[in-house]
Amino acid sequence: MLKIVNAFLVVAVLVSGYALYELEHATRGEERAIASGKRKIDETREAIKLLKAEWSSLTRPERIQKLAAQHLQLEPTRAQQFVNLEDLRTKVPETVPVKLEEDGKDPIGDILKKMQ
Amino acid sequence: MLRQTKITALDGPPRLAGQNRIRLLGLCFALGFAAIGGQLVRINVMKPADDLNAELAKHQDRIPRPDIVDRFGNVLATDIAVASLYADPRKIPDVDEAVEMLSAALPDVDAADLRRKLLKPRSAFAWIKRQVSPEERDAVYNLGIPGVAYVNERKRVYPQGRLAAHTVGYVDMDTKGIAGIEKYLDNAGAIYTASLADPQKQVAAPAELSLDLRVQHVMTDEIGKAIEKFKAIGGGGIILNIETGEIVSLVSLPDYNPNAEEKVFTRDQQNRMLSGVYELGSVIKAVTFAMAFDYGTINMNSKFDARYPLVIGNARINDFHAQRRVLTVPEVFTNSSNIGTAKMALETGLERHQEFLRKVGLLDKLETEVPETARPLLPKRWSRIVSATAAFGHGFAVQPLQGLSVVAGILNHGKLIPPTFIKRSKEEAEVLAQQIVKPSTSEKMRTLFRLNATEGSASKADVIGYRVGGKTGTAEKVVRGRYSKDHRLSSFIGAFPMDKPQYAILVMLDEPKALAETYGFATAGWNAVPTAGKIIERIAPMLGEEPQFTEADLEKLAKLEKLEKQKKP
């Protein structure tokens, strides 16, 4: 009787030992995955921060104003240029000021193409 | 074991002693195993959790420094991770080759200088380049030179540079705030900073300022141009949201670059709008008028005799644009009569004048989030002559922001709202509001402000369509203890649109000079006012103000259009 009990206990020890080892191993793997995931999150977060800072620096109003003055023929909007939606019909100019499609010209598109 | 028990059973007395010994031994083993088991459970079940917490605590011991953004989320200040490259010269096998490779990867590093550093005998450490970008770091790391490594550091950067530098402030080498909002985040606003941090994550929400960067840029641009044109020594301006007390823009020129390595700034670069106190001159007349209306001393039809200078003791008060006649209340305002305004204050009484100035906060230091604020300079004794001169803004000096905030309060149905640099809603502002004058007084003041822009000294700021109202002020500066006629401070305080004021504006120029173009005048109407006009024309559409035109406006516009057409061909 005791023999059987002992044999059973030995097998139990072996099995539980193996199970414990397996569990431990799996846990370590998960922990590594979590750590590397966290590191990736941190790295991505840093990269986002850096890109945001760069974006902010590139969209400085001062810089945009300079670029606009260089590349565009635009002026600040004047009060009298605002038109109510109701008055729109009476404000259509006789000659259309911009005829991009007709001339086949697209100045902004050209600038974009050049930048690419 | 079986056999042993059999033997002991046969032997009699010794059996008992042996059995007890075995039992004792068994108990010891059982205790030992229990201890080991307990330890196993503790290590496997409890310990990992402890480790995790410790790991988290390591990151949480310092609240991360929040970014600073404007009201639309544009980044004004942020932390970036930077690497600093260093070398251990003893470990570099071939210094010449290393220098060649490094200077190819880092074009702005001086090769000769680097070679000298690396060839220094018995040195174990040398910086190659501090605070490099991730690309540079990777480039150098990929060269694989033995003895070259990097450490990670954090660096505070201000991507907008000079723009809004006076508000944002800056930090020292240990990223501790030493000026502006940066200092507020560490000191007075520590609770606010903590409220931004999320304890679950290692990130903090950004500190949202009330500033609008577009408006800030327009102000900097136009005031900068004005300083150049009128050869002023400095200048500044503020845009205040009247209904919420939010400071949409605050400019002080000359400014500084917070990204500069050496943060040594001159007194000239200080924040004129908060750290400087100035005698604001005639713009303070608006406060005197509001007081006199509110105490019932005057009404719109009251008249003041401005034929002769006002003599108090041995002092004479005279008018700059002397009319030498009896003026009505609106005329006193539009002609900016010192005599009339002084009489108004004297009729209200010394006690009540002082009490009113205290109530609106002009006698106390105005505190905002930006810590660099100055205390007002006040007369030691309050006498008749002091009251008379204080009525037109002389003899006491305050922060320009204080003056603007009070005027904004007067125009905002008499509700004074403490100004702030942090984004605030209308509801929050409503709670902080303090009634300083009656709504009827506010109504009258709006009329006077608008009148002064249509036919008074502020007419050059009257941008057609935006119903601007305002008051000008030209104060003589005290130079070596005396008022100087050649050193002037010209200012304009206004608001728009006047039928329902939304934004208050202040423009100030320090020592503007007279030009041929201004017919030799250096008063506010010729420099600060047109500057304000240009600013309003550019920012009103940004701030979402809808232009409205009267018949007279349309006629004026038609005339202007004709003139332009004549000019063009």
Cβ neighbours of residue A88 closer than 8 Å, sequence gap 6 or more: none
Residues from chain B contacting residue A52 (CB–CB below 8 Å): 75, 78
Residue B209: its pLDDT value, please?
94
Quote the Cα angle for B396-B398-B399, to 5°: 165
- B78 and A65: CB-CB below 8 Å? no
Question: Angle at Cα B144 formed by Cα B138 and Cα B147, nearest 5°?
Answer: 105
DSSP B377: B
Tokens of B476: 């003589």
Q: Select the residue of A27, A47, A57 nearest B159 (Cβ to Cβ).
A: A57
Domain spans in chain B, listed from the N-terminal domain onward: 2-60, 68-208, 216-561
Contact at CB, A56 and B541, closer than 8 angstroms:
no
Helix or strand run (H / E) with residue B116: helix B111-119
Whole-structure pTM value: 0.78
Nearest Cα to Cα of residue B376 among B389, B391, B393: B393
List C-alpha distances in Å: B77 to A11, A45, B34, B177.
65, 16, 58, 12
B→A contacts (Cβ < 8 Å), by residue, are 2, 44, 48, 67, 74-76, 78-81, 134, 157, 159-161, 163, 203, 213-214, 216-218, 220-221, 463-466, 537-538, 540-541, 546-547, 549, 557
Mutation site for A-interface testing, chosen from B36, B41, B75 by largest number of A Cβ within 10 Å: B75
Answer whether A49 touches B (CB < 8 Å).
Answer: yes
DSSP helix/strand/coil, B149: strand
Say which of B44, B160, B557 has its CB closest to residue A60: B160
CA atoms of B193 and B208, how far apart (whole Å): 11
List, in order, residues 6 or more apart from B473 with CB less than 8 Å away.
Answer: B280, B281, B282, B283, B284, B285, B393, B489, B490, B491, B492, B493, B524
Residue numbers in A near B216 (CB within 8 A): 61
d(CA A14, CA B277): 85
Strands (E), B120-276: 126-132, 148-157, 170-171, 177-179, 207-208, 234-241, 247-253
Burial B315-340 (b: 16+ CB within 10 A, else e): eebebeeeeeeebebbbbbbbbbbbb
On whether the CB atoms of residues B532 and B524 are closer than 8 A, the answer is: no
Cis amide bond preceding B134, omega within 30: no
**What token pair was written down for B220?**
């900097």
pLDDT (0 to 100) of residue B14 = 55
**Min Cα–Cα distance to chain B from A53, Å:** 6
Contact B80 A76 (CB under 8 A): no
pLDDT tens for chain B, residues 1 to 569: 445 555 544 555 555 667 888 889 999 999 999 999 998 888 777 655 555 555 444 444 456 788 999 999 999 999 887 788 888 888 888 888 888 888 888 888 888 888 888 888 777 788 888 778 778 888 888 888 888 888 877 788 999 989 999 999 998 877 788 889 999 988 888 888 888 877 666 678 889 999 999 999 999 999 999 999 999 999 999 999 999 999 999 999 899 998 887 777 888 888 989 988 898 888 999 999 999 999 998 989 889 988 888 888 888 888 877 778 889 999 999 988 999 999 999 999 999 999 999 999 999 999 999 998 899 999 888 888 999 999 998 888 999 999 999 999 999 999 999 999 999 999 999 999 999 999 999 999 999 999 999 888 888 888 888 999 999 988 888 777 778 777 889 999 999 899 899 999 999 999 998 887 777 777 888 899 999 999 999 999 999 888 888 888 888 888 888 887 777 65
pLDDT of residue B145: 86
CATH topology of domain B216-561: Beta-lactamase (3.40.710)
Whether the predicted interface score ipTM is above 0.90: no
**Any bridge partners for residue B153, and if so which?**
B82
Selected residue of A28, A48, A80 to mutate for chain B interface (largest B Cβ count, 10 A) = A80
User: What are the Cα distances from residue B448, in Å, to B451, B452, B525, B550?
Assistant: 5, 6, 16, 19
DSSP string, chain A: -HHHHHHHHHHHHHHHHHHHHHHHHHHHHHHHHHHHHHHHHHHHHHHHHHHHHHHHHHT-HHHHHHHHHHH----PPPGGG---TGGGGGG--SS-S--HHHHT--HHHHHHHHH-
Rounded-to-integer distance, Cα B249 and Cα B260, Å: 23
Across the interface, whether the CB atoms of A52 and B75 are under 8 A apart is answered: yes
Contact B81 A59 (CB under 8 A): no
- Considering only CB atoms, which chain A residues are within 8 Å of B159? 53-57, 60
**Domain B68-208: which CATH number of 3.30.70.2520, 3.90.1310.10, 1.20.140.10, 1.10.287.130:** 3.90.1310.10
- Closest CA of chain B from A71, distance in Å: 19
Measure the CA–CA gap between B283 and B269, rounded to whole angstroms: 24
Phi, psi at B455, each rounded to 5° = -135, 5
Q: For A3, which residue in chain B has the nearest alpha carbon?
A: B2
Cite the active site residues of B. 282
Helix (H, G, I), strand (E, B) or coil at B204: strand
Q: Which residues contact B20 (CB under 8 A, 6 or more apart)?
A: none
Number of separate helices (H) and strands (E) present in chain B: 20, 18
**Chain B, nearest residue to A59 by Cα:** B160
Whether A54 contacts chain B with CB within 8 A: yes
Specify the DSSP class assigned to residue A14. H
Cis peptide before B258 (omega within 30 of 0): no
C-alpha angle with apex B123: B121 to B128, nearest 5 degrees?
110
Half-sphere exposure of B68 toward its Cβ, with a 13 Å CA cutoff?
29
Residue numbers in A near B78 (CB within 8 A) = 49, 52-53, 56
d(Cα B466, Cα B457) in Å, to the nearest integer? Answer: 17
Q: At what angle do helices B2-11 and B13-41 cross, to 10 degrees?
A: 150
**Hey, what are B13's tokens?**
């007395």
Q: Mapped to the 3 state alphabet, what secondary structure does B295-359 carry?
A: CCCCCCCCEEECCCCEEECCEEECCCCCCCCEEEHHHHHHCCCHHHHHHHHHHHCHHHHHHHHHH
